[in-house]
Amino acid sequence: MSDVSAFKSRIYVRKQRTKLTPEQRAGVLLWRSASSLVRETRVLPSGLHVRFLRVSKPCLAGRTLLFFSDPHIRTSGVLGFFPGIRQSGGTEWLTESFRELFEVIPMPDCILFGGDLVGEAAWIDRSLAFLRTIPSGPRKFAVCGNWELRRRWLPAERWCDLFASAGFQLLMNETAEACGIRFHGLDDAKEGDGLSCEAAIPCSENVCVLSHNPDTAAAMLLTDKLKGAPLILCGHTHGGQFRIPGFGAVITSSRFSKRLEYGAYRHSLTGATMYVSAGIGATWFYARICCPPEVLFVNFC
C-alpha cells in the first residue's frame, strides 16, 4: 500500500469511528451518573484535589488503587479559576503535589496511570523522572493516551520501554495481575487499536479496566467484551476544562458529548462502575475553570 493510500485509509477509519450506530446511541444511555460513590474530596495545599471513590465488590474488599491521568507536561503552566490555582510548567508542581499526596493518603496497593504524559517531546525525559519519584512499593500499570500515539514522537514499543524504566508496566490490549486484581489496559480508540481489539478480556469479578478514552470502554461494553468488569477507569476528557456550575462541561472530547464527560457512572444493566477523571493538565487552552486538577483514590468494600 502506498503512503497516500495508507493515509486515506487511516482518515477513513477515523471517520468511521466518529459515527455513532443506533446501538451505541442507545448503549450510552445505560450509563447513569453515580456521584454518590465519591464519598470525600480533599484539597492539598498545592491545589491538587483527591477524590475518594468507594466501589462495592466484596471479593476485593480492602484493596485500594490510585489513579491519575492527563498531566500533559509541558513548558507552559496551567491557570486555574474558582479557586485560583497556578500550576507551574514542567514537573516541579507535580512533584510537590505528589509529595503532599502520599503524606495524606494510605499507600495504595496499585498505582495506575491513564495516559497523555507529556504535551511537548522535550519533556519526555523529565516526565519519566517525575514518575520515578512516585513510591516504589505498589505495583504500577499504565496505558497509552492519544498524545503518546498521535504525535509520533516515539513508536509504541519504545513507550513500553520508557514506562518500564519508570517502574510502570504499559498495557496495550493486555492483562496483568497484582494484589488479586486483574488489570486490563485498552489501547487508545482515537490513535491506537482500542475499538478493534480482539484480545480476550477476562470476564470475572476482579477485573479493573484501564482505558484512556471513555469512548473505548463504552463501545466495547456494547460487544460484551467488558462484561463482568466491576470497575473502569478513564481520563481524556479533562472534565471539559471549562465547567459551568449546574451545567458541567462546555466542551467535551467524547463522541458521546456530555453523557460521559466527567465523574462517576454506573451501568444500569451490568452494575459496572466507570470513573472519568478530570485529569491534571490541559491541552487546547492552558486554563481550567471550575475544574481543578485531580487524582482518584479507589477503595473496594
Q: What is the pLDDT of residues 261-285, one digit of tens each?
A: 999 999 888 888 999 999 999 987 8
Classify residue 237: in a domain, yes or no. yes
Classify residue 132: in a domain, yes or no. yes
Classify residue 1: in a domain, yes or no. no
Q: What is the pLDDT of residues 202-255, one digit of tens each?
A: 566 788 999 999 888 777 665 566 666 889 999 999 999 999 988 999 888 888
Classify residue 173: in a domain, yes or no. yes
Q: CA angle at residue 196 from 229 to 177, to 5 degrees?
A: 35
Q: Which residues, other chains included, contact 82 with Cβ-Cβ below 8 Å and sequence gap of 6+? A: 289, 290
Residue 273 to residue 136: CA distance in whole angstroms: 28
CATH number at residue 274: 3.60.21
What is the number of structural domains in the chain?
1
Strand partners of residue 78: 87
Domain that holds residue 212: 20-300
- pTM for the full model? 0.88
255: nearest Cα among 289, 294, 290, 222 = 222
Q: Which pLDDT belongs to residue 191?
A: 61
Classify residue 147: in a domain, yes or no. yes
The 3-state secondary structure of the chain, one letter per residue: CCHHHHHHHHHHHHHHHHCCCHHHHHHHCCEEECHHHEEEEEECCCCCEEEEEEECCHHHCCCEEEEECCCCECCCCEEEECCCEEECCCCHHHHHHHHHHHHHCCCCCEEEECCCCECCHHHHHHHHHHHHCCCCCCEEEECCCHHHHHCCCCCHHHHHHHHHHCCCEECCCEEEEECCEEEEECCCCCCCCCCCCCCCCCCCCCEEEEECCHHHHHHHHHCCCCCCCCEEEECCCHHHCEEECCCEECCCCCCCHHHHCCEEEEECCCCCEEEECCCCCCCCCCEEECCCCEEEEEEEC
Q: Which pLDDT belongs to residue 171?
A: 93
Mean pLDDT of 88-113: 95
Q: Which pLDDT belongs to residue 71?
A: 96
Classify residue 7: in a domain, yes or no. no
pLDDT of 149 above 90: no
Classify residue 10: in a domain, yes or no. no
Classify residue 166: in a domain, yes or no. yes
Q: Which residue has the cell 509504541?
A: 156
